[in-house]
């Protein structure tokens, strides 16, 4: 099922516009290429509208946001909306500062996002105004365990209804939800938390998946999350005793490069939940 | 022949000033070190003239340009010209936005470049004002095939005459041309297009080559292009089944690190073409 | 002895705020994670005070400083001082431009640093106003040899007394000194100079060490320097014939990831020197 979404990237080779942080930008560019799409990074107000116009999707990531790039995020988001391009928001560190929280909230108000992807702390802050952000990592209180899963899925679906965006909450278990349907994804590996940028890379890759599957945003976003998780698992198997997080990062991107539609279909682990309208 | 240009870098250990994008900047720094030179990255208008004054060459790369860095590019370029330092321009994404096209054109007007290196789409936009940029990658219509090679070489030589810069158009076949003489280079591997930054890295490395060979810009630029291509070929040979583009990037820089003047001499594949004056 | 400082990071998992350059920022983030702490990168004046308030230490690195980030460095530094958080300064390229020298000097005047870490050229410029900076690398005249070691240690101790900060001067031999006591550290490998960012990474890692050991800054800083040196040595042993500086960078971070308190205790090589008060 998900294999088809990757086949569409291979077929169309979409260009993805990224307004993203300078910490993980190189990894984001390489993973977009690994996912068979083309990245372009651009964040100056003088060009973002033009750049986004020639792309198939936009990925807005607020890590290392600044006074110059925030207006570019709004401008590019609005332009993408006008053109009907799918847009991803990665609210990195929402809750850690007013600037991040308000920028993310403002963006959600002014821009129609196709997908909002973050950890539970970030999404909670945006949905409820309350949150216990611990930098850019998920707060311990917000980790979703088996008992809390049902409530977390319902929470994601409600926030999806409110925003009109597919909500992807990633962690040990990943939730990808629209208002009517949710994917509960069991792929992934704890090692993914030991590198910087696994979230950022997933958001950039999600933009590639939805760019090539614009009429099927929920499935495309779920496919991207499964793809990342599968590659995270496969990359761990490649590690030798001397390897650490830096080699793991390379292996992870390598696995995305080598991922096929067949692997994506056969190794995806998820359940689907439907909601009453 | 080209081995000598690398020997000169080893001998002189030039410092290369880079005003470059934040996507591939780390790779650019590491490849400059791998090429036996020293990188310094600096883009604030408050220091670029001083920084460039203590360097042996300047590399201006307009990827992720912004309102703050554009004036720095002009200031550093002019200062380098005053001091007689060689300067490289990498017009990343020229044609993709007015800001990029006009910045690149303005730089060519105000700064005397030693080398301008880009893909055919970027160089075409600068030379003719017309182009079909597809983000930061070459447009399909602009790929140079065997039939079009003669015209492409002539085009590069004409643009060299107009600008006074050596023109390096890189792709499946690379062209490095002055108004009188051109190198047509067959080194390289398609895998190089599967990482972000192979162009940026080449431009930074070209700055290292011309910094150490300022009286021999055409040969030094051609040597850098051959060096990159040779390393691209050798890096592919090192790949195992599980490797993808991230490991390839590491191998590519590793090969530059291990490149010797002897390898550069023996594995360079090029033809030379002379033009009537 | 130093093993305990690493155990404290594992126990406390501090968050480290980095205002750092975009060249080596990804490596800094990954090495902070490898050292069992959490990084957050943030440099906008609109949020740095809030961000630093939720962190356990601040690392200010002036590489690629600009007009927007310099005020953020002052604001975050002052806020950290108010809150009693330890702060590291990495004066990258001090001496290479007035902007860098004056920013570093101004920071030392207005912010109380716990640790100042640089190469001898950078520290000399800050301590004496005189220096022969050669870009971001140490000047040949400033390399500390066996004959000059005693004087260099005394110089570091004097600058420590003047600034109130532990002074870490890293090179072939590393010096970590307070006004009363100095560690002369023999760990490390020349290969560390063949990658960009070994200094930046050490500064970020030092912030992690002192965040978890705030009552023991001198030992924690010396432990960080030993840790980096040990990992630099171990990473070299992993290199194969085809590896170069890019693979080495990965191995170095991997070794930090795999470093245990036991290895840190058993492989640290240092002498201690005491000064009369």
Q: Is C195 on the interface with B (CB under 8 A)?
A: yes
Selecting from A23, A67, A246 the residue whose C-beta is nearest the C-beta of C253 gives A246
Q: Which two tokens stand for residue B50?
A: 């001083």
Q: Is B55 on the interface with C (CB under 8 A)?
A: yes
Selecting from C67, C244, C246 the residue whose C-beta is nearest the C-beta of B68 gives C67
Q: Which two tokens stand for residue C35?
A: 């050292």
Closest CA to C189 of C245, C106, C123, C146: C245
Q: Is B207 on the interface with A (CB under 8 A)?
A: no
* Three-point CA angle B93, B94, B99, nearest 5°: 100
Dist. CA C230–CA C209, nearest whole Å: 15
Q: Is C250 on the interface with B (CB under 8 A)?
A: yes
Given pLDDT bands bounded at 50, 70 and 90, which one contains residue C136? confident
Q: Mean pLDDT throughout B127-156? A: 82
ipTM of predicted assembly, 2 dp: 0.96
Chain C, nearest residue to A27 by Cα:
C26
Q: What is the pLDDT of residue A94?
A: 96
Bridge partners, B271 (sequence order): B184
Q: What is the pLDDT of residue B132?
A: 60
* Burial of residue C53, with CB atoms counted within 10 A of its CB: 0-12 exposed, 13-18 middle, 19 or more buried: middle
* A42/B93 touch (CB, cutoff 8 Å), yes or no: yes
Sorted by sequence, the CB contacts under 8 Å of residue B35 that are 6+ apart come out as: B6, B9, B205, B208, B209, B227, B256, B259
pLDDT tens across B263-274, in order? 999 999 999 999
Subunits adjacent to chain B (3 or more Cβ pairs under 8 Å): A, C
Bridge partners, C272 (sequence order): C183
Alpha carbon distances (Å) from A44 to B64, B235, C24, C273: 8, 35, 22, 52
CB A50 within 8 A of CB B102: no
Q: What is the pLDDT of residue A147?
A: 82
Average pLDDT, chain B: 96
pLDDT in tens, chain A (277 residues): 899 999 999 999 999 999 999 999 999 999 999 999 999 999 999 999 999 999 999 999 999 999 999 999 999 999 999 999 999 999 999 999 999 999 999 999 999 999 999 999 999 999 998 766 667 777 777 878 878 899 999 999 999 999 999 999 999 999 999 999 999 999 999 999 999 999 999 999 999 999 999 999 999 999 999 999 999 999 999 999 999 999 999 999 999 999 999 999 999 999 999 987 6
Selecting from C43, C44, C257 the residue whose C-beta is nearest the C-beta of A244 gives C257
Q: What is the pLDDT of residue C140?
A: 77
Q: Distance, in angstroms, between A257 CA and closest chain B CA?
A: 5
Dist. CA C205–CA C184, nearest whole Å: 19
Q: What is the pLDDT of residue A144?
A: 81
Dist. CA A196–CA A192, nearest whole Å: 9
Closest CA to C37 of C5, C10, C59: C10
Chain A residues in contact with B244 by the CB 8 A cut-off are 34, 253-258
pLDDT tens across A22-74, in order? 999 999 999 999 999 999 999 999 999 999 999 999 999 999 999 999 999 99
Q: Which two tokens stand for residue A244?
A: 């650490």
Q: Mean pLDDT throughout C159-173? A: 97
Chain C, nearest residue to B17 by Cα:
C135
Enter the pTM of the model: 0.97
Q: Is C62 on the interface with B (CB under 8 A)?
A: no
Chain A, nearest residue to B240 by Cα:
A254
Q: Is C24 on the interface with B (CB under 8 A)?
A: yes
pLDDT tens across C248-268, in order? 999 999 999 999 999 999 999
Q: Is B266 on the interface with C (CB under 8 A)?
A: no
* C51/A21 touch (CB, cutoff 8 Å), yes or no: no
Dist. CA C70–CA C61, nearest whole Å: 10
Q: What is the pLDDT of residue C141?
A: 77
Q: What is the pLDDT of residue A105?
A: 97
Q: What is the pLDDT of residue C133?
A: 61
Question: How far is C-alpha C268 from the chain's CA centre?
Answer: 17
* B30/C65 touch (CB, cutoff 8 Å), yes or no: no
Selecting from C40, C68, C249 the residue whose C-beta is nearest the C-beta of A135 gives C40
Q: Is C54 on the interface with B (CB under 8 A)?
A: no
N- to C-terminal Cα distance for chain C? Answer: 24
Q: Is A40 on the interface with B (CB under 8 A)?
A: yes
Chain A, nearest residue to B251 by Cα:
A250
pLDDT tens across B84-99, in order? 999 999 999 999 999 9
Residues 120-149, chain A, touching C (beta carbon < 8 A): 133-137
CB C211 within 8 A of CB C252: no
Dist. CA B131–CA C245, nearest whole Å: 38
Q: Mean pLDDT throughout B220-241? A: 98
Q: Quickly tell me which residue has 């005047």 as its tokens.
A: C109
Bridge partners, A134 (sequence order): A137
Q: Is A90 on the interface with B (CB under 8 A)?
A: no
HEC string of B111-151 equals CCCCEEEECHHHHHHHHHCCCCCECCECCHHHCCCCCCHHH
Chain C, nearest residue to A65 by Cα:
C44
CB-CB neighbours of C272 under 10 Å: 9
HEC string of chain A equals CCHHHHHHHHHHCCEEEEECCCCCHHHHHHHHHHCCCEEEECCCCCCHHHHHHCCCEEEEECCCCCCCHHHHHHHHHHHHHHHCCCEEEECCCECCEHHHHHHHHHHHHHCCCCEEEECHHHHHHHHHCCCCCECCECCHHHCCCCCCHHHHHHHHHHHHHHHCCEEEECCCCEEEECCCEEEEECCCCHHHHHCCCHHHHHHHHHHHHHHHCCCCHHHHHHHHHHHHHHHHHHHHHHCCCCCCHHHHHHHHHHHHHHCCHHHHHHHCCEEEEECCC
Q: Is A44 on the interface with C (CB under 8 A)?
A: no
Average pLDDT, chain C: 96
Residue-wise burial string across B67-84, b where 16 or more C-beta atoms lie within 10 A, e elsewhere: eebbebbbbbbbbbbeee
> Chains B, C: CB contacts under 8 A, how many?
107
pLDDT tens across B246-267, in order? 999 999 999 999 999 999 999 9
Q: What is the pLDDT of residue C143?
A: 79
pLDDT tens across C42-63, in order? 999 999 999 999 999 999 999 9
Q: Distance, in angstroms, between C104 CA and closest chain B CA?
A: 14
Q: Is B256 on the interface with C (CB under 8 A)?
A: yes
pLDDT tens across B77-86, in order? 999 999 999 9
Given pLDDT bands bounded at 50, 70 and 90, which one contains residue C92? very high
Q: Is A243 on the interface with B (CB under 8 A)?
A: no
* A134/C54 touch (CB, cutoff 8 Å), yes or no: yes
């Amino acid at each position: 099922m998900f294999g088809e979404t990757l086949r569409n990237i291979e077929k169309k080779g979409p260009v993805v516009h990224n307004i993203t942080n300078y910490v993980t930008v190189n990894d984001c560019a390489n993973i977009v290429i690994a996912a068979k799409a083309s990245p372009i990074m651009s964040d100056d107000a003088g060009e973002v509208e033009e750049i986004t116009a020639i792309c198939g999707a936009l990925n807005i990531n607020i890590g290392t946001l600044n006074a110059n790039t925030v207006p570019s995020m709004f401008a590019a988001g609005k332009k993408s909306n006008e053109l009907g391009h799918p847009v991803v928001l990665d609210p990195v560190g929402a809750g850690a500062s007013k600037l991040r929280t308000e920028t993310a909230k403002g963006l959600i108000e002014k821009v129609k996002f196709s997908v909002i992807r973050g950890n539970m702390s970030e999404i909670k802050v945006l949905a409820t105004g309350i949150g216990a952000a611990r930098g850019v990592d998920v707060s311990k209180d917000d980790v979703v365990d088996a008992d809390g899963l049902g409530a977390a899925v319902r929470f994601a679906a409600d926030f999806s209804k409110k925003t009109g965006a597919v909500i992807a909450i990633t962690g040990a278990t990943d939730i990808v939800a629209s208002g009517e349907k949710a994917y509960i994804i069991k792929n992934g590996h704890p090692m993914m938390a030991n590198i910087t940028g696994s979230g950022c890379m997933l958001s950039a890759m999600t933009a590639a998946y939805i760019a090539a599957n614009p009429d099927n945003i929920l499935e495309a976003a779920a496919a991207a999350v499964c793809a990342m998780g599968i590659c995270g698992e496969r990359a761990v198997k490649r590690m030798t005793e001397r390897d650490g997080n830096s080699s793991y990062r390379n292996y992870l991107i390598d696995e995305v490069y080598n991922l096929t539609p067949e692997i994506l279909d056969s190794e995806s682990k998820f359940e689907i939940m439907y909601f009453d309208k």
